[in-house]
């Protein structure tokens, strides 16, 4: 109420109409003077200076704005012995500046914090999608309550494709698009509408009623050494699985030619890197058994990273598709299965051992008749007097020491079940061989090794 009285007095003493007279420059500057007087009156509303004295000083400032020559006003400082208003003004300016600076600092800190939180959430999201934990709990879904559409939890990254999309992607399943054939059926290379290149597996047998359930189970398993399941299709009693397309084919294409002889396309380092991968499936809870592990199911991407395919298909295949007839023998299949019919982790270990023998020998493991079982790759490894006789000669003599250690490990894998090592111990041994082999090859190649200075030598 006190300030309203003073403001009213100000308008009485300095009429707005009188203040805006004069030329253009005078109007602008007189207007500024008016604002200055009003602002000063606000700042000094609580001042102890009498209102009449303050108003008279303000009028002197306004008059000085119009008395100058050529319309250029000059402000004449007021002579007063009271320095308190000037000090208060200076304090107000400093305080306002400090407050504004504090607000700016706070805003900058908040912005930095928000950016860090956003970056952390993005990294967490990327890590969760690309690198799963070493142990994944697979939930058992009751198909009687899910006899239709897959749950969104499992299909958020899984596409349910239509038959027309697959026909368009494969040019109506043209034979020129066939890139392979496995237990599940023919494999077609396809191009989806969004530009994704895929491998489409077409099931040629009687449709399986647990198809959707098993698709959800397979979709849960993600790892850098596994071929990713992109989507599925079920239409008119036809069932399809759609995977990422892996450009470099399977390992066998890089180990041996059509006659099963070594090609020498892979060096020792690459073969040891490819050997690592199956252990992840066995580390799941419960372990996911491949049940058909072999070189043709180990694919290589553009960086020659091994990716395992055909995992998790056990319940989609009949028993006849697992076991060969009595007139033939599958060199990758554990021979104990012919009598027990009980597949276990150790059965996968046996298949993995044969795979290691292929990697080192560079030869295809084939044996089509029981009468010739002694000519299998396993028997050749056991009967060889030295690794030179069994190993791939294209590896060179320098790699034979590591190759011999891998063969010894492979023969343990194909021993009788109680003597077979676990996949975890196999991987640990392969990693040790890999580390030793790489270090030895670097040393023999003459690469310079820096001298190591002991800590005590530094203080002499």
Annotated binding site for ATP: 201
**Closest by CA position to 361, among listed 378, 344, 375, 374:** 378
Helix axis angle for 423-444 and 268-275, nearest 10°, is: 160
Q: CB within 8 A of 68, min separation 6: which ones?
A: 74
Cα(111)–Cα(76) distance, integer angstroms: 47
Closest CA to 78 of 55, 98, 101, 95: 55
Q: Residue with structure tokens 């007097």?
A: 385
> Which secondary structure element, helix H or strand E, spans residue 191, and what is its range?
strand 185-191
Nearest one of 314, 220, 297 to 252, comparing CA atoms: 297
- State both tokens at 175: 């034979």
Would strands 185-191 and 178-181 be described as parallel, antiparallel, or unpaired? Answer: antiparallel
CA dihedral 279, 281, 286, 290 (to 10 degrees): -110
Which helix or strand (DSSP H or E) is residue 355 part of? Answer: helix 345-361
Who contacts 249 (Cβ-Cβ below 8 Å, separation ≥6)? 299, 300
**Which residues belong to the annotated binding site?**
201
């Amino acid at each position: 109420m006190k300030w309203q009285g003073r403001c009213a007095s100000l308008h009485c003493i300095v009429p707005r109409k009188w203040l805006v007279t004069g030329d253009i420059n005078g109007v602008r500057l007189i207007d500024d003077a008016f604002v200055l007087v009003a602002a000063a009156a606000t700042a000094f509303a609580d001042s102890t200076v009498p209102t009449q004295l303050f108003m008279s000083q303000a009028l002197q400032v306004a008059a000085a704005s119009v008395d100058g020559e050529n319309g250029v006003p000059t402000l004449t400082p007021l002579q007063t012995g009271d320095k308190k208003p000037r000090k208060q003004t200076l304090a107000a300016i400093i305080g306002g500046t400090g407050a504004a600076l504090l607000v700016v600092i706070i805003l900058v800190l908040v912005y930095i914090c928000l950016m860090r939180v956003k970056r952390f959430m993005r990294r967490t999201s990327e890590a969760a999608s690309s690198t799963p934990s070493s142990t994944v709990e697979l939930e058992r879904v009751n198909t009687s309550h899910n006899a239709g559409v897959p749950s969104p939890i499992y299909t958020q990254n899984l596409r349910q494709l239509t038959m027309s999309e697959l026909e368009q992607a494969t040019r109506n399943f043209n034979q020129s698009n066939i890139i392979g054939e496995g237990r599940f059926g023919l494999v077609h290379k396809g191009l989806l509408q969004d530009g994704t290149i895929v491998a489409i597996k077409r099931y040629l047998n009687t449709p399986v009623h647990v198809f959707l359930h098993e698709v959800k189970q397979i979709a849960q398993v993600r790892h850098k050494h596994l071929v990713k399941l992109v989507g599925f299709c079920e239409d008119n009693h036809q069932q399809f699985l759609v995977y990422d397309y892996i450009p470099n084919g399977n390992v066998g294409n890089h180990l041996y030619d059509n006659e099963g002889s070594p090609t020498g396309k892979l060096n020792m380092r690459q073969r040891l890197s490819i050997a690592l991968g199956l252990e992840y499936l066995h580390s799941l809870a419960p372990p996911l058994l491949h049940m058909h592990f072999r070189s043709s199911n180990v694919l290589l991407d553009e960086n020659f990273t091994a990716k395992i395919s055909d995992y998790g298909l056990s319940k989609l295949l009949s028993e006849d598709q697992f076991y060969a007839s009595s007139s033939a023998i599958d060199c990758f299949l554990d021979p104990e299965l012919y009598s027990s019919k009980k597949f276990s982790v150790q059965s996968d270990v046996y298949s993995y051992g044969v795979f290691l023998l292929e990697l080192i020998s560079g030869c295809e493991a084939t044996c089509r008749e029981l009468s010739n079982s002694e000519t299998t790759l396993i028997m050749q490894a056991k009967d060889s007097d030295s690794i030179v006789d069994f190993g791939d000669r294209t590896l060179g003599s320098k790699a034979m020491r590591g190759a011999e250690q891998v063969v010894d490990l492979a023969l343990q894998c194909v021993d009788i079940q109680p003597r077979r090592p676990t996949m975890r111990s196999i991987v640990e041994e392969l990693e040790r061989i890999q580390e030793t082999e790489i270090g030895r090859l670097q040393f023999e190649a003459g690469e310079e090794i820096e001298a190591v200075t002991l800590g005590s030598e530094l203080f002499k």
